[in-house]
Amino acid sequence: MRKIVLLIFACIALTANAQETTQTATPATIGFGYLSYNRALQQMPGYDEAQQSLLQLRTQYNAELRRVEEDFNRKYEEFLEGRADFPPTILRKRQTELQEMMDRNIAFRDQSRRELADAEEKVMEPLRKKLREAIALVAQQQGFAFVLNTDSDACPYINPLMGKDISDDVSNQLE
């Protein structure tokens, strides 16, 4: 029973404190900022180098995928040409080899996708962290309650009297 009474008093005190804070807040603390996160990320120093690195890695994986696909196609054509002449045992062996080869190729393709996604995350995370820090700093400096990301039409309309586009401010912070 005492815990409930103390909890009620704590809630009343917090509510009163929150009301006082709201009443003394400046108009800037009530507003919000907004920007396109993706555009800000793409304009950051180091973004182009990160994308170039990822492009090189993607190119290497794609070249290997083409190589194993061509190898499979060549073996499959050889199988089709000789299947009428193969004894049943050799025919089954070749079919099994082709199936195993196809399974390995599929596994490699899936592993390549995962590794590329991991590489992108690893390369882009320092940039994203720096961007989040710049956004937080600008929001704190300007007293915003929050910052909206306008990507993907998440906010089809923002009243410019209620919020501020902080794209330039964040960009300046990142320089």
pLDDT digits (tens, 9 = 90+) for 115-144: 999 999 999 999 999 999 999 999 999 999
Architecture of domain 27-174: 2-Layer Sandwich (3.30)
Q: Quick one: tokens of 72?
A: 């499979």
Q: So where are the chain's domains?
A: 27-174
Quick one: how far is CA 27 from the chain centroid?
Answer: 34
Burial of 5 (0-12, 13-18, 19+ CB in 10 A): exposed
Pairwise CA distance, residues 144 & 137, whole Å: 10
Pairwise CA distance, residues 113 & 95, whole Å: 27
- Give per-residue pLDDT as tens, 75-122: 999 999 988 899 999 999 999 999 999 999 999 999 999 999 999 999
Q: State pTM to two decimals.
A: 0.69
Give me the helices (H) in the chain, please: 2-24, 27-30, 37-42, 47-82, 88-142, 167-174
- Confidence tier at 30 by pLDDT (50, 70, 90): low
- Cβ proximity of 52 and 138 under 8 Å: no
